[in-house]
Amino acid sequence: MTKRPLEGLRVADFSWFGAGPIAAQTLCTFGAEVVRVESETKLDSLRVVQPFALNEDGTFKTGYNVSGYFNNFNAGKLGIQLNLNTEKGQELGYRIVEKSDIFLTNFTPRVVEKWNLRYEQLAAVNPRIIAAYAPMQGMEGPHRDFLGFGAVLTPVTGISHMSGFPTRPPIGVGTNYPDYVVNPGHTITAVLAALRYRNRTGKGQCVELPQLESVVNVLGSAVPEYLANGDSPTRGGNRSPVAAPHGAFRCADDESSTNSPDRWIAIACKTDAQWRALCEAFGHPEAAADDRFNTFDARKANEDALDALVSSWTAGRRAEDVMELLQSRGVAAGVVQNAEDILDKDPHIRARQYYTYLDHPETGRAAYDGPAFRLSDTPGYHTGPAPLLGEHTMEVCERVIGLEMDEIADLLAEGVLM
């Protein structure tokens, strides 16, 4: 296969849950050898979070290796079980760092200090190490030991305040969005910048990525708007200040769906011409001339009536038919797809072969997210499924750390290795 751009680099992945492992996953996909350090004494709880693989009788599989959540974000990594609560475990951790180019963790500073993984300690054993720390609120400051996940970051950073309908409480974005996209993306960017610096100077460095500060970047114009005029943007539902109609409109149920028959279409009209095209597409050109809707300002002033009218036109139609009808007229429209659509039905995703199917020893064949971007000459790809808990302990100890078999046996007996 084509050589990948990060081949020859090794990542000591001491992270857990989402943001850290997803960042390391991307580095792995593009060629880095990632050693995922875990332990039952501080188990990555993502290993026991649904969805779980199913048995033939429809019951859930059990154990630490059957979470689709965990497996999707750890494909191709080497897994070692190492008890960092022991002095010998920390010494072995140093030896992994010594043989690595990148160290990555998103544990709180309290845990980092407990395990003696501060940057100055790692740099003492490997001055060229790029050590990336991504705790929720930074390595220093009054809230440095606060912990949380994407569901905490969305309200803390103000995203939840702007998510939902104006007459209802904040609802957030429905998923731990910061964990999947924002923080891993920023972490990878910072690590690659540090790698470039090291390639030029030979020097490693510390990368600090407070997830709180990383996530406020996605607030868009909210903070500038407050600075400019004192307004703090709040929840607007599906509506937009620059489009009308703008929203998700109910369509006919899809009875062929296995789990979610309700269907919706997202529609956005930014110009009067698009609104007229929408009315003509649905066979109601007279609505475009209605005084309540014939200009953008009129449509915004009568948005409840506008949404009700568009909903009445879409209610009995297939979402896919509405999408094709409106797109052919130059109106922005897209089916509100669910997971089944994305994985099994979307012709574009299928044609691009985004999902990679891998065989896992306990969960069987399953779809994994493919690379988020494509390089024409050095594309990324998965080399294998996620590791079983401690699956590569022996390999890492022998090949990476350089231990002899009798040493490994002693450490297993002492509970340093598992």
Report the candidate in 93, 102, 103 with the shortest Cα–Cα distance to residue 39.
Answer: 93
Identity of the residue numbered 371: P
Give every CB contact of residue 272 below 8 A, 6+ residues apart in sequence.
288, 294, 295, 296
Tokens 């060629």 — which residue?
31
Give every CB contact of residue 399 below 8 A, 6+ residues apart in sequence.
none
Q: What is the DSSP string of 123-184?
A: HHH-TT-EEEE--SS-SSSTTTT----HHHHHHHTTTGGGSS-TTS---TTSS-HIIIIIHH
Please state, in angstroms and rounded to a whole number, the distance separating the CA atoms of residues 368 and 72. 5
Work out the burial of residue 20: count CB atoms within 10 Å of its CB; fewer than 13 is exposed, 13-18 middle, 19 or more buried.
buried
- Per the CB < 8 A criterion, the answer to whether 3 and 380 are in contact is no
Please state, in angstroms and rounded to a whole number, the distance separating the CA atoms of residues 402 and 408. 10
Q: Is 307 a catalytic residue?
A: no
For the chain, the first-to-last Cα distance in angstroms comes to 34
- Per the CB < 8 A criterion, the answer to whether 249 and 314 are in contact is yes
**Apex CA 316: angle with CA 315 and CA 320, to 5°?**
90
| Catalytic residue chosen out of the listed positions 44, 101, 179, 254 | 179
Please state, in angstroms and rounded to a whole number, the distance separating the CA atoms of residues 388 and 83. 16
Instruction: Extract the tokens encoding 261.
Output: 């028959």
Host H or E run for residue 38? strand 33-38
Count Cα atoms within 13 angstroms, Cβ side, for 320: 7
What is the three-class DSSP state of 73?
coil
- Which is it for strands 130-133 and 356-360: parallel, antiparallel or unpaired? unpaired
Question: How many CB atoms sit inside 10 A of residue 291's CB?
Answer: 8
**Apex CA 180: angle with CA 176 and CA 182, to 5°?**
100
Q: Report CA-CA distances (Å) from 15 to 247, 354, 400.
A: 39, 26, 19
User: Which residues form the catalytic set?
Assistant: 179
